[in-house]
Amino acid sequence: MNILMVSSEMSPFAKTGGLADVVAALPKALVRRGHNVVVVLPMYGDIDAYKYGIGHFHAPMGVWMGDDEQEWCAVRRTVYDDVPVYFIEHDVYFNRHGLYHDKAMRDYADNPRRFAFLCRAALQLCIDKGFRPDVVHAHDWQTALLAPYLRIWNWNGTVLENCPAMLTIHNLAYQGIYSKRNYPYLGFSWEHFTTDRFEYYDAINYLKAGIFYSSMVNTVSPTYADEVRTPEHGNGLDGHLRWKGDRFWGILNGADYDIWSPEHDHRLPAHYTSEHRDGKRICKNVLQDHFGLRHDDNVALFGVVGRFTAQKGYNLLAQVIEPVLNSMHVQFAILGTGETDLEQFFNFMAHKYGDRVGIHVGFSEDLAHLVEAGSDFFLMPSRFEPCGLNQMYSLRYGTLPIVRATGGLNDTVENYNHHNGDGTGFKFYDFTAEALYYTMGWAVSTYYDRRHHIEKMRYNAMQRRFTWDMSAEAYEYAYLRAMGLH
Ligand code: ADP
């Protein structure tokens, strides 16, 4: 198949979260399975063209938007992991700091225009270069408009004629809701501005339109797919998703084990395998050094890596961290960035508890790998979690995840059985500080009193695989259905 993938993120070029890892790994897996995949991204100002060999490819490219003005951009290109990647270079829209917001975390006001332009430019590139996709794959609200462009605009006689769209929802909490003042720029007539398509409480909802016009829609885990069909987790679109019927379902993400494996992770100070885990102790010591924690092989060390947002449940951690420190022999290594309150609170904890709590505020791939490898437990108390990648990485590194049983966390972590030591982590169900506190206590008591169970779980966790090959097969099936071939 010829597959066009358009995204606002892809590792290693531009990343704020799991979307970037998925858009790096899925095309690679599809190429391995014999498909022809092309990825289109924005040429953000922070992307290092020199480092990644991103050269000039096509310019100028004229793109008609709805205001009947042609906008001009250029296209750059590189090949990464056997996948051709094209970059839409439009300095006014993309040559600035970050992806979606400024340094003060304020969303860029022209986001609705920036990402509509990205979608239109990606389609224009197909036309200009004669690339005929069998399916166009969009990711999240940023590229959801690909579907209405393909369905509403007239592409007869072009390479896009009858081309279906598939949409993957990585997080339903972000829908791209903007004032309808932006609607004319998109280039759709007002007859489509209806409550089943674009309109959402008198505003435009990009994701909603994407769901309506896509032939197939998926999200990134089976449990999350069930959850978002309910009013409680549907973020106002549950009815819309239920209406999609069997054209909406969950495909679990995979983990990229080329990058995330303790046997050959070049970012680690030592390597280890499921059978020989001595290297994990060395990683723990180096992690303790990095985070200013006391050297101790026998203390239960909790790792955290993630965005400090309400979704991730770190407010629960903030509530329990002191009681846990006061009642249990533990350490914390926290890597993250996001809400200022949480950053300040964890900084304060690090200050107050000295060599028992370490924090690094910021985004660091190197430290993320070290936290995964050097910790004993990995905390993900998420309020909701579409898939979650970190718990999969943790499993691979023998770092037992402590998770709330929601979304992909529920699908990937098997709860501890204290009778026989089966399981790969610790789960709790209620989104409360008490539930988190007692589950951390359960993990800590297992660590000190039933170490043989911990070792057995580590081994089992490291054996688990969530490969992209499995997921790519499911996406293949979805593409075929989108094309009407299944
Ligand atoms: P989400 O996409 O909701 O942020 P995921 O668990 O799906 O959550 O993916 C998060 C990805 O971002 C992981 O690869 C994780 O290692 C990475 N990540 C998150 N925060 C940081 C950080 N502060 N430094 C380095 N990597 C981070």
CA angle 316-321-323, nearest 5°? Answer: 110
Domain ranges of the chain: 2-254+468-482, 278-463
Superfamily of domain 2-254+468-482: Glycogen Phosphorylase B; (3.40.50.2000)
Q: What is the mean pLDDT of residues 291-315?
A: 96
The burial class, CB within 10 Å (0-12 / 13-18 / 19+), for 310 is: middle
pLDDT number for residue 316:
97
Going from the C-alpha of 261 to that of each of 152, 257, 274, 311, 475, the distances in angstroms are 45, 5, 11, 27, 24
pLDDT score at 209 = 98
Q: How far apart (Å, rounded) are the C-alpha atoms in residues 125 and 220?
A: 28
Strand partners, 331: 301
pLDDT of amino acid 68: 74
Q: Over 80: is that where the pLDDT of 67 sits?
A: no
Tell me the CA–centroid distance for residue 17 and ligand 1, in Å: 5
Atom of ligand 1 minimally distant from the CA of 11: 14
Identical fold, 2-254+468-482 and 278-463 = yes
Ligand 1 mean position to 390 CA, how many Å? 7
Give the nearest ligand 1 atom to 312 CA: 3
Contact 262, 398 (CB under 8 A): yes
Handedness of CA 228, 229, 234, 238 (dihedral sign): positive
Which residue has a Cα nearest atom 17 of ligand 1?
A: 17
Task: In whole angstroms, give the CA distance from residue 236 to residue 94.
Answer: 30
Q: Which atom of ligand 1 lies closest to the CA of 170? A: 2
Distance, CA 407 to ligand 1 centroid (Å)?
16
Query: Residues lining ligand 1, judged by CB closer than 6 Å?
Result: 17-18, 21, 305-307, 335-337, 363-365, 368, 387-390
- Which atom number of ligand 1 is nearest to the Cα of residue 253? 7
pLDDT in tens, 103-144: 888 999 999 999 999 999 999 999 999 999 999 999 999 999
Residue 477: per-residue pLDDT: 97
The CATH superfamily of 278-463 is: Glycogen Phosphorylase B; (3.40.50.2000)
Q: What's the gap in Å between 384 CA and the centre of ligand 1?
A: 15
Query: What's the pTM?
Result: 0.92
Q: How far is the CA of 203 from the centre of ligand 1 (A)?
A: 30
Contact assessment for residue 80 and residue 64, using Cβ atoms and an 8 Å cutoff = no
